[in-house]
Structure 1
Amino acid sequence: MNTLVAQEGLKIDWANMPTYNTIMAVAVGAALIGLVMLGRQLLTSPEEVEADGWALTFGVLGGILTATGLHMTLTWPLAAGGFPFDNIIFGETSLGFGVLLLGAALYLWKRGAAALASSKPVEKLARVAQPITVFVGGLGLSLVAIAVAGIKYKLFAAPAEEPISGQFADYPMVEATFMSLLIAVVGLGALAFAVLVNRLRSTGTAGVWARITGWLWTVSGVLLLLFGAMNFFTHIGLIVNTM
């Protein structure tokens, strides 16, 4: 563990602990919002969906999450500073989501236009997506499990040296609760999405599941994007204060 507390305050060996969950959070938030936007277009006006545009969007975001998630999963960079669990929380989940986005991007690029031109594009896409809902549901359950761990072990608390979030350093349950609930909402959205796709596949109707999925991913996506953007300031401040 290369983190030490000296008289002048917390010191972190940043050369041995690269941290990039900032861009991860922004990319995840943007992707969740994008999925909701695409879903709304498909259910209301599929003829207006531009497959190439969404392929480009998911390809960019999936590339970021796959690269950063894979590196974090295989190398555990946050273990050096005493946060090995964060490699699981952020690395493995980002890797899974990133690969899913790349798969969606590839399909939309190669087959999206043809699927949208079919007589029932929503049902067609649901049939294509149905097999992967097992993995999506598994990731959803994993996120819920992470949320439970976050509460139980009081994870996610920022040190006092970090701007804004550090104001709650003496109250670790504040950020632990916020982050755990946020992660749980994303996970519940993944479970709702799996139900939605299977319902569309079997009945051709979305029922209430489109609305549930949309709200869960919109709220969590906006919060993650804003929180990730804010962390570009707070993490820079933490680095400056602990060099």
Structure 2
Amino acid sequence: MIQHVMPLAASGLKIDWTRMPTYNTIMSVAAGAGLLLVVALGRQLLAPGRITTSDGWALAFGALGFTLVTTGLHMTLTWPLAGQGFPFDNIIFGEPALAFGVFLLAASFYLWKRGAELLGDDRVAFTARVASPLSLFVFGMGLACFGIAAAGWKYTLFAAPPEEPISGEFAKWPILEASFMSGLYVLVGIGALLFPFALRRPRSWMSPVIGVVWGLAGIAFLIFGGLNYFTHIGLIVNTM
């Protein structure tokens, strides 16, 4: 999850990109798409009708999970963003992406092998029982999201340098981007903290709240990640 962190710097910033490979662009797009698909599947499970097939969901979750696990695992284990003094970035982006990727891969595997079990009339209660043990990890990552958000606000992280297109226009007000990105982590964290309790009462007020916060965060991560393909390329061109 997934905008890069760079320091505010004077004009003429130069970055040795061979020492700091950055690929949180695709991580952001995949995380956003994953959140939106989780919300969409949840709505289908709670809808009165039946899910006609689970194959498409298994393929989608598998593709997104593979993307997030490979990039998140590499960032978590190798700390590529520490090359020029930003080791905390690997925690902020790599570990949440790895965890979410594992969730998606687990869901993909289950839907591929036993997705037909979700087609019955008792699918809501059945899904809640199956997901309940994993919900403890989801809850823990919700706490992590709040920790990341608090760090973003306290240390004014997520600020882009002036050399980055679009985002760099707000370099004089680093609190703006810090608040935006920290706010997204708060949204994800709210849904994750409610998730275990929503499984106990799937049709309570908590399920719509989770759908709203994860849906808003998913849209933002998806659009922001797509935009970053331009802003990150521009930053590389301007700082080589």
Give the superposition deviation at 1:162: 0.3
Between 1:121-130 and 1:43-52, the stretch displaced more is: 43-52
Give the superposition deviation at 1:116: 2.0
Other-structure match for 1:106: 109
Question: Are residues 116 and 180 of structure 1, via their aligned partners in 2, closer, same or farther at CA, if it must alter by over 3 Å?
Answer: same
Structure 1 unaligned segments of length 5 or more: list them: 201-205
Other-structure match for 1:227: 224
CA distance in 2, matches of 1:147, 1:156: 10
Q: TM-score, normalised by structure 1?
A: 0.92
Match of 2:206 among 201, 204, 209: 209
CA distance in 1, matches of 2:200, 2:109: 22
Other-structure match for 2:200: 198
Match of 2:56 among 53, 58, 63: 53
Give the superposition deviation at 1:8: 6.6
- Determine helix, strand or coil for the equivalent of 2:18: helix
CA distance in 2, matches of 1:5, 1:127: 48
Question: Are residues 44 and 63 of structure 1, via their aligned partners in 2, closer, same or farther at CA, if it must alter by over 3 Å?
Answer: same
CA contact (8 A) 2:21 2:80 kept: yes
- Determine helix, strand or coil for the equivalent of 1:12: coil
CA contact (8 A) 1:30 1:221 kept: yes
Higher helix share: 1
CA distance in 1, matches of 2:49, 2:88: 42
CA distance in 2, matches of 1:109, 1:224: 27
Find out whether 1:143 has 2:145 as its counterpart.
yes
Superposed structure 1 runs of 4+ greater than 4 Å apart? 3-8
Q: TM-score, normalised by structure 2?
A: 0.94
Give the superposition deviation at 1:45: 4.0
CA distance in 1, matches of 2:145, 2:22: 21
Question: Are residues 154 and 54 of structure 1, via their aligned partners in 2, closer, same or farther at CA, if it must alter by over 3 Å?
Answer: same
Match of 1:178 among 180, 202, 226: 180
Other-structure match for 2:166: 164
Compare relative contact order (CA 8 Å, sep 6+) and give the higher one, 1 or 2. Answer: 2
CA distance in 2, matches of 1:7, 1:135: 42
Give the superposition deviation at 1:53: 0.6
Find out whether 1:21 has 2:18 as its counterpart.
no
Map 1:122-133 onto structure 2 (within 5 A): 122-133=124-135
Other-structure match for 1:203: none
Q: Tell me the amino acid that sits aligned with residue 212 of structure 1.
A: V
CA contact (8 A) 1:4 1:12 kept: no
Q: Tell me the amino acid that sits aligned with residue 225 of structure 1.
A: L
Between 1:167-176 and 1:191-200, the stretch displaced more is: 191-200
Map 1:52-91 onto structure 2 (within 5 A): 52-91=55-94
Give the superposition deviation at 1:47: 1.4
Between 1:167-176 and 1:45-54, the stretch displaced more is: 45-54
Structure 2 unaligned segments of length 5 or more: list them: 1-5
Other-structure match for 1:187: 189
